[in-house]
Amino acid sequence: MLASGPPSRMGSSVSPSQGIFPPSNIGNSEFLNVGASSSFPPPELDMNKNDETDLLSVSWNQNSGCIAAGTSNGFRIYNCEPFKETFRRDLKSGGFKIVEMLFRCNILGLVGSVGNTHYPPNKVLIWDDHQSRCIGEFTFRSEVRGVKLRRDRIVVVLEHKIYIYNLMDLKLLHQIETLANPRGLCCLSHHSNTFVLACPGLCKGQVRVEHFGLNVTKLINAHDSQIACFTLSMDGLLLATASVKGTLIRIFNTMDGSRLQEVRRGADRAEINSMALSPNVQWLAASSDKGTVHLFNLRVRVFGEDTRPNSPRGPALVHQNSSTSLDPLVSPNTGANPNSSLSFMRGVLPKYFSSEWSFAQFHLSERTKFIVAFGSQSQNSVLIVGMDGRCSFDPVRGGAMLQKEYVSFLKFQSRSTI
């Protein structure tokens, strides 16, 4: 169900600022001047350094150029390449379980941890760090599972519902009902001329894709088991999914829901923690609790264009402007995913023997929860947070990835989780 207007049963209350900022300014590194503060008290900074800081969450910004870390004492922001701490905020009131950046600007989406005395986990704060105050606040009856930001939208994920707000005035635009979603699964496109949202559907193994510019909804039955992880390409035209089994990863065309490719992470059950598509959608990286990052070569790409809601191009041109044709991306300068030596017996032997396996791998020394992304300074680099490093891969021969950099960005106790 996609509904517009004020929330019904679950409900939320919003304390808006008096005008926020033009979306065109967001994404620049300059600080922004925004509206009035909410009723929340300003945070009381903790000037005492505490080395025993628990890491509660870690996430990328929209272009994977920064890392946001939620800690038991506040939050910290890091630049990835070169790696350096940009700023930190240590608070006496407690920490944040969700820290969502908006590209590189001073606006953050924050959700407090259970022990935070000022910012409980059922509230979302839109935080202006330049002014050190909350400029918007959303209060819900249940715990917030996720927050996603775009230049023009704020998306709040609850366990059974997703709320979509306009960033300019914090007005509620849409509501989407989902299957139970304790992981807070949701992802957005980030091209300026597309707004695509992917979230769990109302059936097990289903992903719902909303093309808001086209007013099109696609329900993709991706897996037989429950969805564990998914990611969109920057333009929202490709979707990669994994189930709780964690053995197969599937890539879909979000315009027509067709499956384009299927790759195999392994034979044993695993929890897929993170997936990322490279900016040129030639590579897919995935991390799991098996302690390995897998890299897959993608053979296809969807060419198409979502349209802005106010675009002069009408529905009659939607099909022309949103082509679902496939373009092969097998380049002579890159290798292919390996297959079983018995793959020539496809259709005779079980499906396992015709699977595409990972093109390159990186083995980690500990089984922590890691998130992955692609580096911006090199087409052949993968960023891995959890082990706090960067590795490279050979785009022709594949195989074991080479660690290029290792940085310990936060001291935390052994009980800490990411």
Q: Are 195 and 23 in contact (CB under 8 A)?
A: no
Domain boundary, last residue among 127, 162, 177: 177
Whether the per-residue pLDDT at 385 is higher than 70: the answer is yes
The answer to whether position 243 is within a domain reads: yes
The answer to whether position 28 is within a domain reads: no
For position 283, which CATH number holds? 2.130.10.10
Whether the per-residue pLDDT at 207 is higher than 90: the answer is yes
Which pair of structure tokens corresponds to residue 198?
A: 């992917």
* Size of the chain in residues: 418
Domain boundary, last residue among 177, 212, 233: 177
The answer to whether position 104 is within a domain reads: yes
Whether the per-residue pLDDT at 360 is higher than 90: the answer is no
Residues 274-290: tens digit of each pLDDT: 999 998 888 999 998 88
CA distance 168 to 150: 11
Residues 229 and 362 grouped into a single domain: yes
pLDDT at 341: 44
Q: How far is CA 144 from CA 119, 141, 166, 188, 235, in A?
A: 12, 9, 18, 17, 26
Round the average pLDDT of the chain to a whole number and report it. 76
Mean pLDDT of the region 119-131: 90
pLDDT at 132: 82
- The confidence band for 324, taking pLDDT boundaries of 50, 70 and 90, is very low
The answer to whether position 274 is within a domain reads: yes
Count of domains for the chain: 2
Residues 172 and 291 grouped into a single domain: no
Domain boundary, last residue among 132, 155, 177: 177
CA distance 366 to 158: 31
Nearest Cα to 104, choosing from 63, 135, 75?
Answer: 63
Q: Are 21 and 36 in contact (CB under 8 A)?
A: no
The answer to whether position 187 is within a domain reads: yes
Q: How far is CA 373 from CA 231, 290, 385, 408, in A?
A: 11, 18, 9, 18
The domain containing residue 80 runs over which residues? 53-177
Mean pLDDT of the region 112-128: 89
CA distance 109 to 127: 6
Whether the per-residue pLDDT at 25 is higher than 60: the answer is no
The answer to whether position 25 is within a domain reads: no
First to last CA, the chain: 32
pLDDT at 39: 43
Residues 272 and 149 grouped into a single domain: no
Whether the per-residue pLDDT at 382 is higher than 80: the answer is yes
Residues 255 and 373 grouped into a single domain: yes
pLDDT at 336: 60
The answer to whether position 39 is within a domain reads: no
- The confidence band for 23, taking pLDDT boundaries of 50, 70 and 90, is very low
pLDDT at 90: 86
Residues 143 and 169 grouped into a single domain: yes
Q: Are 255 and 249 in contact (CB under 8 A)?
A: no
Residues 227 and 374 grouped into a single domain: yes
Q: For 21-25, 227-231, 304-308, 376-380, which range has the lowest pLDDT when averaged over its residues?
A: 21-25
Decide: residue 341, CB within 10 A, 0-12 exposed, 13-18 middle, 19+ buried: exposed
Query: Which residues does 315 contact at the CB level (< 8 Å), separation at least 6?
Result: none
Mean pLDDT of the region 9-21: 50
Nearest Cα to 215, choosing from 152, 306, 153?
Answer: 306
Residues 172 and 191 grouped into a single domain: no
pLDDT at 46: 54
Sign of torsion, CA 366 367 370 372?
positive
Residues 169 and 201 grouped into a single domain: no
Residues 83 and 187 grouped into a single domain: no
The answer to whether position 394 is within a domain reads: yes
Q: How far is CA 295 from CA 15, 141, 237, 326, in A?
A: 44, 40, 20, 21
Whether the per-residue pLDDT at 80 is higher than 90: the answer is no
Helix (H, G, I), strand (E, B) or coil at 23: helix
Max avg pLDDT among 18-27, 117-126, 369-378: 117-126
Residues 254 and 373 grouped into a single domain: yes
